[in-house]
Amino acid sequence: MSFWFCFGTYIYLALEKYHSTPETQTDESYNHPEDVLHFAQHENIERIEAEREAKFRGIPVEEVVKQQKEAVEAVITSTKPIVRVPPPEKQDPETRYKDAKSESVHKGEWGTGDAGYKAPVDASDKLR
């Protein structure tokens, strides 16, 4: 068991080494030997799971695989593309606080309403 843990940690560290920034997370980037091994491991696990599910449901493995592919395609076609946004601490302050003024205007005077007299938490509170 410890072999797989160490092996998994090695692959995780390799993936972090090669794919730690959005620029290195393109489809063409995942061709290192560690990546190929990692994804082959996932394919093997998925095949075993499909065989178990087919045996449990009493249907052919091909039918389970077909249903899984249809489910994945339905999710892919129904979702918006993922847009990676840098964390707030790495954003330009102009971008980070661009909506703070408009948010502060909508909140009203400091200390009124349900918010009470709490210490300011976000940028819009600090601008009131």
In this predicted model, what pLDDT tens digit does every residue of 26-43 receive, in sequence order?
777 777 788 788 888 988
Torsion 94-96-101-102 (CA) sign:
positive
pTM of structure: 0.39
Residue ranges making up the domain that contains 116: 88-126
Residue 63 and residue 116 share a domain: no
Examine residue 83 and state whether it is found in any structural domain, yes or no: no
Residue 63 and residue 7 share a domain: yes
Nearest to 51 by CA among 38, 60, 41: 60
What is the distance between the alpha carbons of residues 11 and 34, in angstroms, rounded to a whole number?
A: 6
Residue 96 and residue 53 share a domain: no
Residue 100 and residue 38 share a domain: no
Residue 52 and residue 113 share a domain: no
Residue of higher predicted confidence among 127 and 40: 40
What is the distance between the alpha carbons of residues 54 and 58, in angstroms, rounded to a whole number?
A: 6
Q: How confident is the model at residue 5 (pLDDT cuts 50, 70, 90)?
A: very low
